[in-house]
Amino acid sequence: MSDTDGIRLVLEQEGPYAFKVSFDGTALEALHTDEPAPLGGGAGPNPSALLLAGVANCLSASLVFALRKFKNSPGPIRAEITARKERNAEGRWRIPRAEVVITLADKAAALEHFDRVLAQFEQFCIVTQSVRDGMAVEVSVIDADGQRYVPGASG
Residue 99 and residue 27 share a domain: no
Does the pLDDT of residue 138 top 80, yes or no?
Answer: yes
Task: Write down the pTM of the prediction.
Answer: 0.87
Q: What is the pLDDT of residues 77-123, one digit of tens each?
A: 999 999 999 999 999 999 999 999 999 999 999 999 999 999 999 99
Residue 78 and residue 63 share a domain: yes
Cα 83 to Cα 97, 129, 132: the distances in Å are 6, 17, 15
Range of the domain at 73: 46-134
Domain assignment of residue 30, yes or no: yes
Domain assignment of residue 21, yes or no: yes
Q: What is the pLDDT of residues 32-49, one digit of tens each?
A: 999 999 999 999 999 999
Domain tally, the chain: 2
Distance CA 34, CA 51 (A): 14
Residue 36 and residue 100 share a domain: no
Does the pLDDT of residue 1 top 80, yes or no?
Answer: no
